[in-house]
Structure 1
Amino acid sequence: MSLTRRILRSPLFLSSCGAAVVLGGAVFYKESISCCYKVDSKLDNVVAVVTGATNGIGLATTRKLAEAGARVIMASRNMDKCKEQRRKIVLETRNKNVVCRLCDLASLESVENFAKRIIQDKEKVNLLINNAGIMHVPPKPTVDGFEPHLGVNFLGSKRMLLHRDDKKRYMFVGPHLLTVLLLDQLKVSAPSRIVNMIDISCKRGHVNFQDLNSTKDKPQPQCVYDQSQLARVVCTRELSRQLKGKHLHTYKYVKRTGIGRQVKSKFVKVVTWPAKKIGLQAPDKAANAVLLLAVSPEFGDVSGKTFRYDRVTKTLKETEINDEAEDLRVQLRLWLTADYWTKAQKVQLLFLSLFSR
Structure 2
Amino acid sequence: MSTTQWNDEDIPDQRGRLAVITGANTGLGLETAWALAAHGASVVLAVRDIDRGKHAAARIAEAVPGANLTVQRLDLASLDSIRAAADALRAQCDRIDLLINNAGVMYTPKQTTQDGFEMQLGTNHLGHFALTGLLLDRMLPVQGSRVVTLSSNGHRMQAQIHFDDLQWEQSYSRVGAYGQSKLANLMFTYELQRRLADAGAPAIAVAAHPGFANTELSRYSPAFVKLLSKLPMMAQSPQMGSLPTLRAATDPDVRGGRYYGPGGFMETRGYPKPAESSKQSHDQAVQQRLWAVSEQLTDVKFPV
TM-score, with length taken from structure 1:
0.76
1: CA distance, partners of 2:276 / 2:103: 23
Higher helix share goes to which structure? Answer: 1
- Alignment of 1:232 onto 2:185: yes
Paired residue for 1:12? none
Matches within 5 A, 1:147-162: 147-155=118-126
**Identity across the alignment (%):** 30
After superposition, the Cα gap between the structure-2 partners of 1:38 and 1:122, relative to the gap in structure 1 and judged at 3 Å, is same
Contact 2:74 2:81 in 1 (8 A): yes
2:184 and 2:55 mapped to 1: Cα distance? 33
1:87 counterpart = 2:62: no
**Aligned residue in 1 for 2:146:** 193
Correspondence 1:134 to 2:105: yes
Tell me, yes or no, if structure 1 residue 317 matches structure 2 residue 266.
no
Q: Which amino acid aligns with 2:261?
A: R
Over aligned residue pairs, what C-alpha RMSD do you find? 2.3
Gaps of 5+ in 2: none
Counterpart for residue 252 of structure 2: 297
Distance 1:343 1:282 in 2: 38
Aligned residues of 1:39 and 1:68 also touching (Cα < 8 A) = no
Q: 1:40 to 1:62 in 2, by over 3 A?
A: closer
Q: Is 2:139–2:203's contact at 8 Å kept on the other side of the alignment?
A: yes
Q: State the AA in 2 paired with 1:225.
A: Y
Between 140-149 and 61-70, the greater mean CA deviation after superposition: 140-149
Q: 1:327 aligns with which of 283, 295, 302?
A: 283
**Structure 1 match to 2:94:** 123
Residue 283 to residue 260, structure 1, CA distance change in 2 (3 Å): closer
Q: Could you give the per-residue CA deviations for residues 164-197 of structure 1, whole angstroms, max 9, x where no partner exists?
A: xxxxxxxxxx110001111110112222011111
Gaps of 5+ in 1: 1-32, 156-173, 350-357
CA separation of 1:176 and 1:40: change in aligned 2, threshold 3 A: closer
1:62 aligned onto 2:15: no
Residues 332-343 of structure 1 mapped to structure 2, 5 A cutoff: 332-343=288-299
1:264 Cα deviation (Å)?
Answer: 4.9
Moved over 4 A (4+): 258-262
Bigger shift: residues 223-232 or 270-279? 270-279
Query: Residue in 2 aligned with 1:273?
Result: 227
Which residue of structure 2 lines up, in the alignment, with residue 78 of structure 1? 49
AA aligned to 2:227 is: W
How many residues get paired? 292
Change (3 A) 1:271 1:192: closer
Match of 2:80 in 1: 109
Residue 127 to residue 143, structure 1, CA distance change in 2 (3 Å): closer
**Could you give the per-residue CA deviations for residues 226-262 of structure 1, whole angstroms, max 9, x where no partner exists?**
0000001111100000000311111111222255646
User: What is the CA distance between 1:120 and its match in structure 2?
Assistant: 2.3
Matches within 5 A, 1:38-53: 38-39=9-10, 41-53=12-24
1:209 matched residue in structure 2:
163
SS of equivalent to 2:19: strand
